[in-house]
Amino acid sequence: MFGSIFNRNRKTKVYSPMDGKVISLDQVNDPVFSGRMVGEGVAIETTDNMVYAPADGIVTTISRARHAIGMKLDANVELLVHVGLNTNGSEDVFESHIKVGERVKKGDLVISFDFDKLAASDETVVVPVVVLNSQFHSFSNFKIDALSDSKKTVLFEVL
């Protein structure tokens, strides 16, 4: 009970889960993400095939195709990392390296995938990283139009 009260004023840094170019959600060619229907965040245009945990937390969801994970971070931040936009029927493309309920540390490998297979359905592989419960948080220090280094670049901070 007291943990959520005391964590309320703590900044949570969300690091890049992949190498690539950081873009605004406005530039994502999917109205669910560009319209921020699922939450606030950024996206990464990547040529990488490894996805790393962007922060410490507990894995709450893994999609059936293994292309997306949900995490609950400290300070009650619910984060989604979604690899690709046209991933329907792509079960053979992704491999999950984690389980639901597992505690992961920033930089742990969580998903790997066959980049060439995914790129065949997505011209540019875009990876939205969004806070699902954005309405309860404020944000600062968005990194947009810059190159990201997986596990090192802070994409944004959540308050």
Catalytic residues: 82
Handedness of CA 21, 35, 115, 55 (dihedral sign): positive
Q: Could you give the C-alpha distances from 67 to 7, 71, 90, 157, 158, in angstroms and in order?
A: 30, 14, 8, 24, 24
Count CA atoms closer than 13 A to 57's CA, side-chain side.
26
The helix/strand/coil state of 146 is strand
Q: How far apart are alpha carbons 135 and 87 in whole angstroms?
A: 27
Angle formed at CA 130 by CA 126 and CA 136, multiple of 5 degrees: 165
Q: Where are the alpha helices (DSSP H) in the chain?
A: 2-6, 31-34, 115-121
